[in-house]
A = this chain, B = another copy of it.
Amino acid sequence: MNDFTLYTPTQVVFGRDTAAQTGALVARFGGTKALVHYGGGSAVRSGLLDRVTASLDAAGIAHVSLGGVVPNPHLSLVREAVSLARREGCDFILAVGGGSVIDSAKAVAYALAYDGDVWDFYCGKARPAKAVPAGCVLTLAATGSEMSDSSVITNDEKPEWEKRGCNSDVCRLRFAVMDPSLTLTLPAWQTASGCADILSHTLERYFSGPETVEPTDSLAEALLRSVMDAARVLAKKPDDYEARATVMWAGSLSHNGLTGCGHGVPGGKVGDWACHQLEHELSGMFDVTHGAGLAALYGAWARYVMDADYARFARLARKVLGVVEADDKKAAEAGVERYEAFLKEIGMPTSLRALGLELSDAQLDALAFNCSFKGTRTIGSFKKLDRSDMRNIYANAR
């Protein structure tokens, strides 16, 4: 087990009708005036936003609101929110929505505690030292942003729309209100994409390298099995509260750091993240749903890297995917087939074509060019991948 740190300070309030506790939670964590940040109209139409602001009123918390956060949230809206929050003297950022809204709120929280340009944190020019307190009312189980140290923002002010992430414990939310019943009516596509994203967050850490780490690996395998079982239930019965609750809670645990403890570089990077980075370019260029993009790329990535350590893939196959096969290479291959069969079962694509993308050779080149930062970086830790590897994986995923 490698040395690690874990910081999960987020107060989790999980269950039915928990949105009513939002105001009291903002007060508990020192907020007096909140910027309520949200996305499209669904939080308004469902009445959730009204319930949240009523809860703020009841707790004596003043508030202003700014909606309009889109999937792959934009830097320009972050700037607008920062201006509003500064003008109005907000001391707490409250995200009401899914991962995009929370990521945008984290960027706003960074910016309010920084004199420079918040993009500095995303382009790697500076590290955030602090942030204004933030919390969320979660409406979607997918990104795990409600407990993670991660925020991903798309710079829509640049012609190439760069999508970049910033990871720091500084932005961990003070609280996360999670009511699975808010997700009961989510469309099947969004539900399955969320499950694929959650599974990927665990898999990325699982494939930090060839090493085994207990109890971390066993916990990861338990989460994978639970999410796969629940995803299968939801494909048939979308309003199953237990399955919704399983997915929502597993989503937080899959990305709060728990499944990486003892893996990776001490004090440094934990997880492989090649699939995520390959997908970021894809969704940056084509605006595909993140989880579906991950699903489309996984098989091509796994088959391309598994020769670095068949035993690791074989363990996953046996412990999670029901493979009974003594030979590691065969078990590893069978495991990828089983996982792809599962993805299809819940309606996810396992190729770019199934995702609706017919990519030209020039487009593959462009994806690999961008993902490799013009050929200047490698990605992955289970197996290091350079620009030509990236192109091969994109091509194999066609």
Contact = CB atoms under 8 A, between A and B. Distances in A.
A265 B180 CA distance: 18
Contact of A215 (B5, B7, B9, B250): B250
Interface string A259-270: 001100010000
Given A5-B14, A245-B262, A215 B226 contact: yes
A30 B221 CA distance: 38
B223 A249 contact: no
Interface in A228-274: 229-230, 241-242, 245-246, 249-250, 253, 261-262, 266
A11 B170 CA distance: 12
A308 interface: no
Given A215-B222, A215-B226, A3 B12 contact: no
Interface residues of A, number: 40
A363 interface: no
A291 B230 CA distance: 36
A124 to B, nearest CB: 24
Nearest to A179: B3
A249 B262 contact: yes
24 contacts: A1-B15, A1-B242, A1-B245, A1-B249, A3-B18, A4-B14, A5-B12, A5-B13, A6-B12, A6-B14, A7-B11, A8-B8, A214-B226, A214-B229, A214-B242, A214-B250, A215-B227, A218-B222, A218-B226, A219-B219, A221-B222, A245-B262, A249-B261, A249-B262
